A and B are shown apart, each in its own frame.
Chain A
Amino acid sequence: MLFADRLERRFGAARALRGVSLSVHAGECHLILGPNGAGKSTLLRLLAGLARPTAGSVTRPGGRRSIGLLSHQSQLYGDLTAVENLTFTARLYGVSDPGGQARARLAAVGLAERADEPVRGLSRGMVQRVAIARALLHGPNVLLLDEPFTGLDPQSSELTLGLLAAEQAAGQALVLVTHDAQEAWELATHAHLLVRGSWAFGGPREASLDGFLRRCREALHG
């Protein structure tokens, strides 16, 4: 579904990514952890096609249409209503019945009654749900998520987790970048640690979160 081969990304003399490879298949959830500045967001931008790698390549068999991106910024227009934002996205992606699909997606994330309110007036949790609806609107095969739980209250986090679990169960692949493994451990099929632009370790998720965190601490602090 999504393949990255020896990705490198430089910003001047600084190397943000150093030979990172990743294979993502249907129904998998790849949890990518790392400290600040490890290159997590850069990796997601390369996977999404929003930036070009200095070396290496990204293969998206379904093209740009197969990718959905939920970054820590909502990508929504604050002065437009939730349904107007989604209708616009639907038009960009050539989705049939843009208005109807937009309302259906908002209903699926529990926001049918707030669909006609400007995004600027919604709470952080609601904005995040609109952003998820937006990212899923065109039916992508792979959803890239950058810190999707940041700033959410426990109830909103749980709702977001439920929405992502449902998408994964339907066969969608998730690549989830976070600095808190606990939030999304239940979803993860694979877990990776990115340190200074390269994998410290990674692979199928181990049974215990504690064991994984212990390995992370050892990799980070020796």
Chain B
Amino acid sequence: MGEFFRVALAVAAKDLRVEHRSKTALVSAIAFAALVLVIFNFARDAAAVSREALAPSVLWITFSFSGVIALNRSFALERENAALDGLLLAPVSRSALFLGKYLANLAFVFTVEAVALPLFVLFFGVDLTGSLGGIVLTAVLATTGFVAVGTVFAAMTVRTRFAELMLPLLVLPFLLPPVIGAVQVTARLLAGRPLSEIAGWLRILGFYDLVFVTLCLLLFPPLMDE
């Protein structure tokens, strides 16, 4: 078991180091998030739609689409110089490789979200006092599941000719359950509704995480064998 986590941490550390050096995906994901927030802010008709009504959807559109940009780079860096062959040749568990890539992607998407959230507050003037903890918890629960699914699909599409196009097409349907749940929770948190109203949605997000993280750990090895 120690070997399993040692390999996973080595892969995650390598991915984060590569991104730290290049910063290409991080910068593009954050720039995309900022752009989405600016566009929604200026495109909104203040007389027709209130900020409070639009804000939860905008926040989660921003998080999920910039998350997909982040996931795209996960295996793109393995395609350069056929580095993926080097990974797959190593006598290590494929599930450990998945866990390493997953941990790096989680760190990466959380970073994008951590930058996007203050921008969201800035552009939408939303008061997060009292709801920040709940929104962070929701982000953690929703992101945990969709990043696992995205990591598997990124691995599946890396050897296709149109990987950048295929990943959003495949992963977005699987993003619907956590994004819908997260929007519902965020809307209630921003409206100051009681915890009892969001507990059910949080349980659904937790269940999604449990099912899909487990499935992805099991599905990744056979997907990588050919």
Contact = CB atoms under 8 A, between A and B. Distances in A.
Whether chains A and B associate is yes
Nearest to B83: A75
Tell me whether chain A's interface is mostly helix, strand or loop, or mixed: loop
Nearest to A62: B91
B77 A75 contact: no
Contacts of A50: 85, 88-89
Contacts of B161: none
Nearest to A67: B89
B176 interface: no
Interface string A63-100: 11101010101111111100010001101111000000
A69 B89 contact: yes
Given A78-B80, A134-B86, A63 B14 contact: no
Given A52-B225, A69-B89, A93-B90, A79 B21 contact: yes
Interface in B15-35: 17-18, 21-22
A75 B18 contact: no
Given A69-B89, A92-B10, A84 B17 contact: yes
Contacts of A75: 81-83, 85-86
Contact of B91 (A52, A63, A77, A84): A63
A200 interface: no
A51 interface: yes
Give chain B's interface residue range (CB within 8 Å of chain A): 20 to 34
Interface size bracket, A side: 20 to 34
Contacts of B17: 79-80, 84
A202 interface: no
Contacts of B80: 77-78
A73 B81 CA distance: 5
B138 to A, nearest CB: 34
20 contacts: A50-B88, A50-B89, A64-B89, A64-B91, A69-B86, A71-B82, A75-B83, A76-B81, A77-B14, A77-B83, A79-B17, A79-B18, A79-B22, A80-B17, A88-B10, A89-B90, A91-B10, A92-B10, A92-B87, A94-B3
